[in-house]
Amino acid sequence: MNRIKPLALTAPIALSACNGTPDKPNIVFFLIDDYGWTDSSVQYGEQLYPYNLRFNTPNMQRLAGMGVVMGNAYACPVSTPTRACMMSGMNAARIKVTNFTSLEKDKPSDAIGGAPGSVNPNESDIFANPEWNHNGICPAAFRPDSARLGLNHTAFVTPVVQLLKDAGYFTVHAGKAHWAPAGTPGTNPYNYGFAVNIAGGSNGHPRSYLGADNYGNTKDLWDLAAIQNMVEYYGTDVNLTEALTREALKALDYPVRHNQPFYLYMSHHGTHTPIQRDERFVQKYLDAGMSEKEARYASMVESVDWSLGQIMQWLEERGVADNTVILFMSDNGGQSVGSAKGGEDHTQNLPLREGKASVYEGGIRVPMIFYWPGRTKARRENVPAMPEDIFPTLLDIAGVRSFSTVQTIDGVSLLPTFLEGSPIDRDLVFHYPHQWRVEDQEDIDFLSAIRRGDWKLVYRMHTGALELYNLKEDIGERHDVSAEHPDVVQSLAAALSSRLKEWDASMPIVRESGLPVPMPDANTRLSP
Amino acid sequence: MNRIKPLALTAPIALSACNGTPDKPNIVFFLIDDYGWTDSSVQYGEQLYPYNLRFNTPNMQRLAGMGVVMGNAYACPVSTPTRACMMSGMNAARIKVTNFTSLEKDKPSDAIGGAPGSVNPNESDIFANPEWNHNGICPAAFRPDSARLGLNHTAFVTPVVQLLKDAGYFTVHAGKAHWAPAGTPGTNPYNYGFAVNIAGGSNGHPRSYLGADNYGNTKDLWDLAAIQNMVEYYGTDVNLTEALTREALKALDYPVRHNQPFYLYMSHHGTHTPIQRDERFVQKYLDAGMSEKEARYASMVESVDWSLGQIMQWLEERGVADNTVILFMSDNGGQSVGSAKGGEDHTQNLPLREGKASVYEGGIRVPMIFYWPGRTKARRENVPAMPEDIFPTLLDIAGVRSFSTVQTIDGVSLLPTFLEGSPIDRDLVFHYPHQWRVEDQEDIDFLSAIRRGDWKLVYRMHTGALELYNLKEDIGERHDVSAEHPDVVQSLAAALSSRLKEWDASMPIVRESGLPVPMPDANTRLSP
C-alpha cells in the first residue's frame, strides 16, 4: 500500500523562469455524459448495429479515422463513480464511491432507505442501503480539516489534475464536475488543481440546455442543478453544449500564447437528460422519420459531435493540433429507462443489454477514441480499458514518471495499448450495490460483475444468483451459460469475492439479518 | 481621435518559449463596492472625522503606512460607470455609460419613464430618460456581430485587461463584474481578456453574503443576482467576502509557480447592500454601542479589510510581495439613503455631502491607496484621480508603452503622481443625467459637476441652477458661493458645457418641449 503523505497544494514549487515545455503534448479529454456505445456513426463493435445508423457524428468519425477506436472501453454504471475513478486511479469498489453524488451534502442518492417517496413494496425492500462515500471524493489536502468541515463519507485522494498542474500543465475544467455535493471542497474544480473552472459544480445534469431558459436560471426552473457562469448566453439561442465549447476555447488562449502545455477537461453535460432539441441539428432527424424524442436525442449527439469538431478546428487554427492528444469517451452507458429518448425501455443500447446504472454491457461499455498525432495509427483495438486507467494514462502521456499519492492506484496506463496494442492482464470489476430508482429494476439494481477475457460473471445480490456470459459469442448477455461452466463460475466468483473483501467494498444490508449481503462465492441464495 | 481598428482577440501572438518576465510587477487591484471615504480607520482627509472612529481596518492602515494615500481620488456616482471608465479609459459622459446596468438586457435602470411602480408626482416628472448605453460596455471584438447579437445601446471598447493579457499577464477576475447585462458578451469577464473568472456576471450586488443562504442560491432567495461558482461554500458559515478571497488566491497559484506576472482584479461585492453581519467581526461593534445596522456595516468593512490582509500575507508567503503593486479603491461613494446602514439618511459620509449616486463629494470621493514596494514612500497626496485614469495607470505600471484602442482615452497615468507627486492639469467632469430611485432625491438625481482646482461647480438639471463651492474651505459643500464668484461660475459652466457637447453626452429630455435639458451655460432656469 503506497499511502504517502499528500503534496501540500500551496507549497511553493521551484520552477525555472523558462516554462516553455513544448516537449509535453497538450491533452484534450473530451468526455460526454450518458452517451451509449451505439449512439454514433462510428463503429465500436465488430459490426455496425441498427442504432449506429441513426446518428450523424462526422467529427467523431474523423477522429476515429486517425486514432485508436477502443471496442472494449468501460466506465462505471453511473457518473460520479466513473469520475472518481478517473481522478483517483482507484476502482469504484475500492474508493467506495459507487453511486452518483447528490446536489447537497449528506444526502445519499440511493432510492431506498429514506429517499423521498420510496415506499416501494418490491423485493429490494429486503435490503437497506450500504455504507458508501455518498459525499464523494475530495482532494487530500483537505483531509486535516475533515472534522471541522463535516466531511464524513468522503474519499480523500491525490487528484491527477493536481499532478498535471504540478508538471506544468495549464489545466482547464469546462462543464460537468460532479465529484461531490455542494458545501464540500470536493465540488470545486479549483481544489483538484484546475487553473480555470468553467461552470463545474455539484450538478450531475443541467436543468435546461437552452439559452432561452438561462440553462435553468429562471425563477420557474431554478434549483441547484442550474448551470453556473454562462451569463453571457442568457436569453439567446445558444445551446449549452455550444456555450461550454466557446468558453473552453477562450480559456485555452492563455497557454497557447505562452507555449505552455494544457490539459482541457471538456466534460459535456450532453447527452444527459433533459433530452432537448439542439435546433441547429434536429430537423434532419425529424425528416428521416424519427419520433420527436428520438430526433431530440440525435440532435444532442450531433451537438457534442459539433463541439468536438470545433475544438479540433481551433487546435489547427492555433497551430497546436500536431502536439495535442485527444482522448474521447463517455462516462457510462446510454440511458435506457424512462423513455426520455423514445423507444421501448431497455432497448436503447441494443445489441447491448440494459443501459445506464447496470453492470450489463449496456450500462458500462462506452465509446472511446485515442488520437496522438504522428504516434497513433488508425485502427480498432479490443484490449479492455477501465475508468481508473485514465489517471495513469494521463500522467504517462504527460511524461510524469515520479509522483506520490495518498491512494493506491488500481488503473494501468493505456498508452502502450493505444500505441502498440499491448495487452493488459487483469480482471475487470464492476460493483453497483445500490438501488438506482424508486422503481426497482432487477437488471440494474444491486449487481456486481467481473470480466476475465471473454467471460463475464454477474452477481445478482437480490437472489444470490450467478450468471455467466461469453461476451465474444454473446455480446448481448442473453444466454446464461453458468450451468455449462461451473468451474469458470467458481473461479470468477472467488476472484470477485476476493477483490470485494480486499477492498472492503460497500454491500447492501439484508434487513432481516442486519448483515451485509454475502460475497458472490458464498453460494447462498437468499429466500425471495 | 485615435480610433484605430481593434486588435483581433484571437490572433496568434508570437511569444518566445521563455515567458518568465520578472521585470513586470504583479498587480493587485483591490476594489470595494459602495465603500465611503470615511468608512475606514485610515485618514483620507486633512483630519480624522467622527466616522473614521467607527471602523477598524488594520490592513488598510498597514497598506497606508507603506503607500500613497490619495485624499482626492474620485469615482463615478454609481458602479457600472466607474467600472466602464476603468476598463476603457474614457470619461463616463463620453462613453455614455452614466448609470448602472440592469441584470437583464434592454432594461434601462433609470427610475422614471417606465420603471416598475414609478408613478412619482415630484418635479422629476418634468424629464424623460436620456438615451444612454444602458446595455453597458462590450469588448470591441464583438462589434462586427452587434446586429446579430442585438447589441444596441452598447459602448464597444478595447479593454485594458486584454492589453495586459497581450503583454503577458495572467489576468484573474474575482467577484463583481457589472459591466453589462446578462445575455451580452460584455457581461463575461473572459471576453475582456481575463484568463480566469471567479463569479463575475451581470449582478451589481449579491442576494446574500451568507454561505448559509448559498449566496442567494436557494429557492426562496434566487434571482439573477445570486452569486455564481461558489458551490463549495453552500451551507457553510463562510462569508462571501472570505469565499471570493480564497478562490482568488487559488487562481494565483498558477502564475506564481510559473514566474509569470499576474493581474488580480479583486472586485469585492462588499460593502454593497444587503448589509449583513460578518459574524467573525460584528460583536466588537455591538459591544461598542453601535446599533445593529451600524455594527453590521462595520463588520462588512472589517471583512474586506481582512481580505486585503489575507492577500498581503499570501503574497509574502509565496515570495512575491516585493514585486507586487497594490492599488486599493472604492467604486463610488458610500450608500447614504434607505438607512440600510443605520443613522439618518444623507449623513453617512459626513463631513461629505450626500452619498452614492450623487455628484456631491459623498457620492464620488473615494478611498484610494497605491503601494509599489521599494518605489513608493508612505505619504498623503492630494492630486485628484479619476476612474478613467485606471486604464493608463495599469498599462504604465505594466510597462506597456505601445498599444492601440478603438476608443479615445480620457484618463492619464497616475503613476508619476504616485511616485513623485506630479500634478495633473485638468478639469474633472462628473455627469449623472438620471433619476436613481423612484423616490426622487434632489441632491442625487439629474446633476452634473466640474472641478477645477479647489472650485467645484454643480449643475442642477431640475432647475438649471448652478452652485459653486470651494472644496478647500468647504469640503462639505454647504456654502454656495456662486453669487460671489460669477466669473468662476461662467468659466466653469462654459468648460462643463464644452465637454458635454464635445462628448455628445446623454441628457434628460424635457417632457414639455421634447428637447434635451439645456447645457449648463445656457443660463436658463426651467420653470418648476
- Residue ranges and CATH numbers for the domains of chain A are 21-426 (3.40.720.10), 430-526 (3.30.1120.10)
> Rounded to the nearest 10 degrees, what angle do helices A79-88 and A390-397 cross at?
40
Between CA A336 and CA A346, with CA A342 as vertex, the angle to 5 degrees is 25
B18 vs A22: CB contact, 8 Å cut-off? no
Mean model confidence pLDDT for chain A? 92
Show which of residues 169-198 on chain A sit within 8 Å of chain B, judged by CB atoms.
170, 182-185, 187-188, 190-191, 195-197
> Rounded to the nearest 10 degrees, what angle do helices A240-257 and A292-317 cross at?
10
Q: Is B250 on the interface with A (CB under 8 A)?
A: yes
Q: Are the CB atoms for B362 and B336 separated by under 8 Å? A: yes
Q: How distant is the Cα of A61 from the closest Cα of chain B, in angstroms? A: 28
Give chain A's radius of gyration (CA, Å): 22
Chain-centre distance for alpha carbon B305: 18
B319 vs A235: CB contact, 8 Å cut-off? no
Q: Is B257 on the interface with A (CB under 8 A)?
A: yes
Helices of type H across A106-239: 146-149, 160-166
pLDDT in tens, chain B (528 residues): 343 433 333 333 333 334 444 589 999 999 999 999 999 999 999 999 999 999 999 999 999 999 999 999 999 999 999 999 999 999 999 999 999 999 999 999 987 754 444 434 444 568 888 999 999 999 999 999 999 999 999 999 999 999 999 999 999 999 999 999 999 999 999 999 999 999 999 999 999 999 999 999 999 999 999 999 999 999 999 999 999 999 999 999 999 999 999 999 999 999 999 999 999 999 999 999 999 999 999 999 999 999 999 999 999 999 999 999 999 999 999 999 878 899 899 999 999 999 999 999 999 999 999 999 999 999 999 999 999 999 999 999 999 999 999 999 999 999 999 999 999 999 999 999 999 987 768 899 999 999 999 999 999 998 899 999 999 999 999 999 999 999 999 999 999 999 999 999 999 999 889 999 999 999 644 333
d(CA B189, CA B265): 11
Residue B22: what pLDDT?
53
Show which of residues 57-86 on chain B sit within 8 Å of chain A, judged by CB atoms.
none
Place of cell 469546462: A174
Q: Is A251 on the interface with B (CB under 8 A)?
A: yes
- Enumerate the residues of chain B whose CB falls inside 8 A of the CB of residue A251: 190, 195
d(CA B460, CA B433): 10
Backbone torsions φ then ψ of A173, nearest 5 degrees: -105, 120
d(CA B162, CA B232): 29
Please state, in angstroms and as integers, the Cα–Cα distance from residue B28 to each residue in A524, B258, B295, B298, following that order.
67, 17, 28, 24
A147-156 exposure pattern, b = at least 16 Cβ within 10 A, e = fewer? eebebebbbb
A182 vs B214: CB contact, 8 Å cut-off? yes
A231 vs B182: CB contact, 8 Å cut-off? yes
At B304, the amino acid letter reads: V
Q: Which of B234, B236, B252 should be substituted to probe chain A, the one whose Cβ sees the most A Cβ atoms within 10 Å? A: B234
d(CA A482, CA A375): 42
Q: Are the CB atoms for A199 and A243 separated by under 8 Å? A: no
Q: Which of A197, A247, A318 sits opposite B229 (nearest CB)?
A: A197
B250 vs A191: CB contact, 8 Å cut-off? yes
Q: Which residues pair with A175 in a beta bridge?
A: A267
Dihedral sign for Cα B469, B471, B474, B477, please. positive
Please state, in angstroms and as integers, the Cα–Cα distance from residue B352 to each residue in A104, B232, B430, B460, following that order.
47, 41, 16, 18
Please state, in angstroms and as integers, the Cα–Cα distance from residue B525 to each residue in A318, B122, B461, B463, following that order.
61, 17, 9, 6
Q: Which of B18, B149, B183 sits opposite A234 (nearest CB)?
A: B183
DSSP three-state, residue B385? strand
B190 vs A19: CB contact, 8 Å cut-off? no
Backbone torsions φ then ψ of A127, nearest 5 degrees: -110, 145
pLDDT above 80 (res A7): no
Q: Are strands A68-70 and A379-381 parallel, antiparallel or unpaired?
A: parallel
A122: exposed, middle or buried (C-beta count within 10 Å: 0-12, 13-18, 19+)? middle
Q: Are the CB atoms for B335 and B356 separated by under 8 Å? A: yes
Between CA A9 and CA B196, with CA A105 as vertex, the angle to 5 degrees is 45
Q: Which residues pair with A163 in a beta bridge?
A: none
d(CA B353, CA B336): 10
d(CA A148, CA B57): 28
DSSP 8-state class, residue A526:
P
Q: How distant is the Cα of A195 from the closest Cα of chain B, in angstroms? A: 6
Q: Are the CB atoms for B457 and B450 separated by under 8 Å? A: yes
| Section A375-392 average pLDDT | 98
Q: What is the DSSP string of B209-236?
A: S-GGGGGG-STTT-STTSPPS-GGGTTS
Q: Which of B182, B253, B319 sits opposite A235 (nearest CB)?
A: B182
pLDDT in tens, A106-149: 999 987 754 444 444 444 568 888 999 999 999 999 999 999 99
Q: Which residues pair with B330 in a beta bridge?
A: B32
d(CA B88, CA B389): 9
Q: Which of B105, B188, B254 sits opposite A195 (nearest CB)?
A: B254
Q: Which residues pair with A379 in a beta bridge?
A: A68
B184 vs A260: CB contact, 8 Å cut-off? no
d(CA A202, CA B230): 11
A170 vs B254: CB contact, 8 Å cut-off? yes
Q: What is the pTM of this model?
A: 0.93
Helices of type H across A56-214: 58-64, 79-88, 92-95, 146-149, 160-166
Cell triple for A376:
497513433
Q: Are strands B127-128 and B509-510 parallel, antiparallel or unpaired?
A: antiparallel
B427: exposed, middle or buried (C-beta count within 10 Å: 0-12, 13-18, 19+)? middle
pLDDT band at residue A371, thresholds of 50, 70 and 90? very high
Q: Is B310 on the interface with A (CB under 8 A)?
A: no
Q: Which of A196, A232, A257 sits opposite B13 (nearest CB)?
A: A257
- Enumerate the residues of chain B whose CB falls inside 8 A of the CB of residue A258: 15, 19, 168, 260
Backbone torsions φ then ψ of A186, nearest 5 degrees: -70, -10
- Enumerate the residues of chain B whose CB falls inside 8 A of the CB of residue A105: 235
Report the number of secondary-structure helices (H) and strands (E) in chain A: 12, 18
Please state, in angstroms and as integers, the Cα–Cα distance from residue A499 to each residue in A90, A407, A505, A508, following that order.
13, 16, 8, 16
Q: Which residue of B has its CA nearest to A179?
A: B232
Count Cβ atoms below 10 Å from residue B452 Cβ, excluding itself.
16
Residue B124: what pLDDT?
56
- Enumerate the residues of chain A whose CB falls inside 8 A of the CB of residue B104: 234-235
Please state, in angstroms and as integers, the Cα–Cα distance from residue B52 to each residue in B48, B74, B129, B301, following that order.
6, 18, 37, 12
d(CA A525, CA A74): 29
Between CA A520 and CA A525, with CA A523 as vertex, the angle to 5 degrees is 95
| Section A259-265 average pLDDT | 97
d(CA B456, CA A73): 74
d(CA A271, CA A258): 34
Residue B114: what pLDDT?
44
Closest CA to A271 of A304, A233, A295: A304
Please state, in angstroms and as integers, the Cα–Cα distance from residue B344 to each residue in A528, B158, B288, B388, following that order.
75, 42, 19, 32
Q: Is B14 on the interface with A (CB under 8 A)?
A: no
Q: Are strands A465-470 and A455-460 parallel, antiparallel or unpaired?
A: antiparallel
Q: Is B316 on the interface with A (CB under 8 A)?
A: no
Q: How distant is the Cα of A198 from the closest Cα of chain B, in angstroms? A: 8
Residue A6: what pLDDT?
37
**Max CA pair span of chain A:** 69
Q: Which of B17, B234, B258 sits opposite A22 (nearest CB)?
A: B17
Q: Is A91 on the interface with B (CB under 8 A)?
A: no
Q: Which residue of A has its CA nearest to B235?
A: A183
Residue A121: what pLDDT?
40
d(CA A363, CA A366): 8
Residue B113: what pLDDT?
56
Cell triple for B484:
460671489
- Enumerate the residues of chain B whose CB falls inside 8 A of the CB of residue A319: 12
